[in-house]
Amino acid sequence: MIKMQNVSKTFDRFKAIENVNLSIQKGSIYGLIGSNGAGKTTLIKLLAGIYLQDQGSVTIEEELVFENLSLKERVFYIPDQPYFLPQYTTKQMAQFYKSIYPTWSDERFQTLVAWFELDMKKRIHTFSKGWQRQAAFILALSAKPDVLILDEPMDGLDPVVRKKVKNLLIQDVADREMTILISSHNLREIEDICDHIGIIHKGNLLIEKELDELKSDVHKVQVAYKDGVPEQLLSKLNVLHTEKRGSVFLCIVRGKEEEIIGQIQKTKPVLLDLLPLTLEEIFIYEMGDIGYAINNIMVE
């Protein structure tokens, strides 16, 4: 269980994050969404024990992270731009990490290198950006951490590799109950692997939600009537948003699927369709005014 309580961090009078409360369950994949400069990296570096918060506490399993050796041995951090010791090859990096992370597995390393078909005797800084990121993933997963912290990990990866990496991550979560914090400025990029989502905007964590809960709770309905929309329909449903397109009436409704359908069918519509919502739409409709602010964040 990772917890941040009332955490604030200031850089030279510029408040990077303010009063953030966040909790990540063990074995979950937590997606941290925010635009550039929202405070994602700061939050992540606090979790990785690089920065020290000015206020509040950052804990993993109720222990403070900063300068906590036994805890940090179980945490691995991949920065937004993977960085390696100068002139090092993947193999040398592996030796370096091996000397530092007690959970390091050579076997895992060999397997992953083979699977990604990476030349581990080549200096990493000569690799392309995407290959460097793959090397970083190989090294991180070989360290077998309990907590993996990834800052914008999908940048520069092609869809095939992206899929590969996602599978690996999910597999580790399933096998070892690894916890992952993954940040992105793009919700669509990570929505398929996250089970929890937190949205950070201007240093504040706006919401934190479980995805399944969100998805089963909000529905997009398309209906059409011969003689206009009956008055009683809207009053009986928890409607978040309505829109009229010609004679078709579109609304976003919160509630259980069967109940909504039941209610609408009572009013005898000519047309009734239940459409899937993207995560993006859910956030936008769910959150009203703030949602529109978030909309700007996510339309990138």
Angle at 46 between CA 42 and CA 50, to 5 degrees: 100
Q: Which CB atom, from 146 or from 286, has the smaller least distance to another protein?
A: 146
Span of 84-92, 185-193, 236-244, 277-285 interacting with another protein by CB under 8 A: 84-92
Q: Does position 83 bind another protein by CB under 8 A?
A: yes
Report in angstroms the alpha-carbon separations of 153 from 39, 134, 166, 176, 216.
16, 10, 10, 20, 28
Cβ proximity to another protein: between 72 and 220 the closer is 72
| CA atoms of 131 and 111, how far apart (whole Å) | 17
Among the listed residues 86, 159, 228, 246, the single contact to another protein using CB under 8 A: 86
Stretch that binds another protein, among 24-32, 78-86, 218-226, 292-300 (CB under 8 A): 78-86
State yes or no: residue 40 binds another protein (CB under 8 A).
Answer: no
Q: Rule CB under 8 A: is residue 95 a binding residue for another protein? A: yes
Q: Does 167 bind another protein (CB under 8 A)?
A: no
Among 34, 39, 49, 153, binds another protein (CB under 8 A): 49
SS3 of residue 168 by DSSP: helix
Q: Could you tell me how many residues make up the chain?
A: 300
Residue by residue, DSSP assigns 249-292 as EEEEEES-HHHHHHHHHHT--SEEEEE---HHHHHHHHTHHHHH
Select from 62, 69, 128, 226 the one that contacts another protein (CB under 8 A): 69
Q: At its nearest, how many Å lie between another protein and the CB of residue 79?
A: 6
Residues in contact with another protein, shown as a per-residue x/- string from 221 to 250 under the rule CB under 8 A: ------------------------------
The CB-of-119 to another protein minimum distance in angstroms stands at 20
Instruction: Supply the minimum distance, in Å, between the C-beta of residue 155 and another protein.
Output: 15
Judged by beta carbon, residue 92 or residue 295, the one nearer another protein is 92
Task: Please say whether the beta carbons of 84 and 134 come within 8 A.
Answer: no
**Considering only CA atoms, which of 70, 57, 62, 128 is closest in space to residue 100?**
70
Cβ nearer to another protein, comparing 182 with 284: 182
Integer Cα distance of 204 and 219 in angstroms: 28
Q: Nearer Cβ to another protein, position 28 or 53? A: 53
By the rule CB under 8 A, 160 interacts with another protein = no
Q: What is the smallest separation between the CB atom of 271 and another protein, expressed in angstroms?
A: 56
Indicate whether 105 belongs to the interface with another protein (CB under 8 A).
no
Give the up-direction half-sphere exposure of residue 265: CA atoms within 13 A in the CB hemisphere.
8
**Minimum distance from CB of 46 to another protein (Å)?**
11
Is 3 a binding residue for another protein by CB under 8 A? The answer is: no
Measure the CA angle with vertex 171, ends 277 and 68; round to 5°. Answer: 105
DSSP helix/strand/coil, 33: strand
26 in Cβ contact with 179 (< 8 Å): yes
Cα distance between residue 90 and residue 77, in whole Å: 16
Instruction: Indicate the residue type of 158.
Output: D
Residues that bind another protein (CB under 8 A): 11-12, 45, 48-52, 67, 69-73, 75, 77, 79, 81, 83-88, 95-101
